[in-house]
Chain A
Amino acid sequence: MASSTHTADAIVIGGGLHGCAAALYLARSGLRSIIVEKDHVGRHASGVNAGGVRRLGRALPELPLADAALAQWRNIRDLVDDDCGFASPGQVKVAETEAELQALKARRETLLAHGFGHEEIIDAKQLRELVPALAPHCVGAMRVRGDGHADPFSTMQAFKRKALSLGVRIFERAPVETLQKRGGTWRVTSARGGLEAPVIVNCAGAWGGRIAGMLGDYAPVEVQALMLMITERLKPFVKPVIGAQGRSLSFKQFGNGTVLIGGGYRGRAEPERNLTHLDFGGLAANAAAAAALFPAMRGARILRCWAGIEGHMPDGIPVIGAGMEEGVFHAFGFSAHGFALSPIVGKIIADLVATGAADLPIGAFSIGRFSRPAA
């Protein structure tokens, strides 16, 4: 096995959601690809995330992508033959003080000025009707209808299955070891032998900066271990996904009754060993935020806490686009909100590979925005 060479039109490095989405769309454009994954598909961020699909609060450059992605999520079955557990009960960002509400209103004005009207402001009474379980001190909120969440596990499996059914080959437990260009061909060595293709797609998530470096590009990825916790099954009591303007919190109840609580608190990552370590101080602060907004949750039992390894960019938006060398494309560093974008980024990458252009603005995500620090 190790001595054989596999050839394809493109080699996708990383079997997360972005790697699978890119390979899937490449296949739809008639391009054969191989995914090389150092562990197994969905082992990292894509398999352990919170499944949030939101436009609320996104950075401006991401909004056209998030809009397009939402349209795909609504019809996700057409793409991957599975509903991925997608539901769209909306997302809500709660204000607990007048000042926080003013900040939300200001944000709404900014978006309106750029032509985005999806962020609405609701008052205390509307908020109470929408989320009766919320603590009574909340004064209002920002609401985005149509936002929601999907089930990360079934999403990951569905993308993988669909990619396979379109002829994508997936090599698991195959870390990419070296990358070399000879003539117009990239040659990759991995534990599963050699691979050759004219195109490399870097979907290596938190490891994307390392792969970019091997391809002659530079991107300062900060590796983070984002933490989440989940409760036992509770009676349904909240429909929309809840965030807060003044606290780090992301809170949602899934259809099976379990409540997922996150908020960007970080543990410690050891990406070389695939390990994460929890910080119970951070989890405690996260739990306190949840308990403050949902007093009825205080007695709920937390069953599991975990952390996933994610790549963060200094400006909080991903790297998407062509690399410096011919035949190199990047999609990594999704900075804790790449789940929602995966279907559209897969399409963008396939378009770039197939036609050299994307039909959405991606200039802000160029890898060229980072400059190598002086040695």
Chain B
Amino acid sequence: MKSRYDIAIVGAGPAGMAAAAAAAGHGASVLLLDEQSEAGGQIYRAVSRQNFKDRNILGSDYYEGLDLVSELASSGAEHVTGATVWQVSPEREIGVSKDGTARMVTAGQVILATGAQERPFPVPGWTLPGVMTAGGAQSVLKSSALAAPDAVFAGSGPLLYLVAYQYMKAGIPVRAILDTTPRANALRALPHLPAALRSIGALMKGRRWIASLRAAGIPFIKHIEDLKLTGTDCVTGVEYRRGKRWRKIDAAQVFLHQGVVPDVNLAMAAGCAHRWSAAQLCWHAETDAWGETDIPGIAIAGDGAAIGGALAAEYLGRIAAHGALHRCGCLGRAERDSLAAPFRRALAGEMRLRPFLDALFRPPRRLRIPQGDATIVCRCEEVPAALIRESVALGCLGPNQLKSFSRCGMGPCQGRFCGLTVSEMIAEARGVGVAEVGALRLRPPVKPLMLEELAALAVEPVSMPGKR
């Protein structure tokens, strides 16, 4: 790693790989950083060293990632694996740790391609051992071909069905799928159907997964309105409600999922402006047509800015790369525009499906905002829902202020996992919009950093403390 690059990209998923490949070869020095041990991001995790011999298990969409991985490898961009980025400053200084050594790299242009994370699912018992996210289960399957048999999959959204389908294809028994997609969503999604029908192929994929799961005899229970995970030391069962009736199934393993939201942590810590998206129920970065944020020289591409899926992420990565090349003087305006044009067209096609998916899989309020008082919201500091409501009653106006009322968001994850829940809860309790309440602000380091790594950072202090 050098100490300075023209363009630095954080995240080697489809957005970051495409951005790096597109940016290289125009005379700019390009650095791509990712904490994973190989390129791929979420969707194409470990694609270049996949253990499963049978390609049907993870499916053809997954192996499409190989093209991007090889395009990246031959592009001339410098890809550093195992590199955790713990800060990006408005001056585009990137703090990165690799193999226990921290360093500061500066870049003329930064593209954040940090992707998505799964939406919190704060139902009673969600923090019990034996409960994890469906995406987490999929990561283990992709990277080490490990899986837990007889799991209950609960929640909603394409990724939930996909992971269950991949499990089934891998021959791992699935106990049941409890679908929490609200019945009323179909009606709300209807107006977006005509546009979505133009991407009929993608639309049918999900239906095919569900049909295959059903055909394999896996119970697929729809319209579940409420969920509880039970057990004392670890999860032993799932209680679910349809209408007025509660039922229970035993389970030693539960995979929860209700959609993905942008991973905004680095961008927010850098100070990039975000707005609340009522359609996707999450924070979106304010970006221009090239992905550039309100902080000059910092752009965001892919699911890290707004959820669009892997193909959209790839196109957005290429578009952002051309924007960055232009800003650093490597591409003229006309050339930039014409090189980016095909990707803009492809992106528009890809985004036709989004409003339909957003409406269809919109998670219900009662599964986003804990209903009971005892449900844990912040798992690091074990803060229950009641404490957050009490804090609002005592005058707490927003998630950052909440730190002085409870320790919510002050543990190791700094609120990366509970931030959305907290903002929505405070908004509900105050009776105002989430935009007014704001987001939990992360402080650098955005990922934990060892004291000795920080101590060895070769950066001179700007000022030394005066003697007191």
Contact = CB atoms under 8 A, between A and B. Distances in A.
B455 interface: yes
A130 interface: no
Contact of B462 (A231, A275, A279, A337): A279
B105 interface: no
Given A284-B461, A303-B411, A316 B468 contact: yes
Interface string B113-153: 00000000000000000000000000000000000000000
Interface residues of A, number: 47
Interface stretch (B46-54, B214-222, B281-289, B400-408): B400-408
Contacts of A299: 450-452
A281 B451 contact: no
Interface stretch (B73-81, B87-95, B260-268, B427-435): B87-95
Nearest to B398: A40
Contact of B460 (A265, A281, A288): A281
Contact of B443 (A57, A153, A306): A306
A31 interface: no
Contacts of B397: 40, 172
A282 B462 contact: yes
Contact of A278 (B394, B444, B449): B444
B465 A265 contact: yes
B463 interface: yes
Contacts of B463: 265-266, 279, 282
Interface in A256-297: 263-266, 268, 275, 277-285, 287-288, 290-291, 297
A284 to B, nearest CB: 4
Interface string A108-137: 000000000000000000000000000000
Given A231-B451, A280-B104, A336 B468 contact: yes
Contacts of B394: 157, 161
A168 to B, nearest CB: 13
A253 interface: no
B462 A266 contact: yes
Interface string B20-47: 0000000000000000000000000000
Given A232-B412, A277-B89, A300 B450 contact: yes
A337 B459 contact: no
Contacts of A47: 404
A62 B52 CA distance: 71
A153 B404 contact: yes
A304 interface: yes
Contacts of B452: 287, 291, 298-299
Given A287-B451, A316-B468, A265 B461 contact: yes
19 contacts: A153-B404, A156-B404, A157-B394, A265-B465, A268-B462, A279-B462, A280-B95, A280-B457, A282-B461, A282-B462, A288-B456, A290-B455, A291-B455, A297-B451, A298-B455, A301-B450, A302-B445, A304-B414, A305-B444
Given A287-B454, A298-B452, 6 more contacts: A232-B448, A279-B461, A287-B452, A287-B457, A298-B455, A301-B450
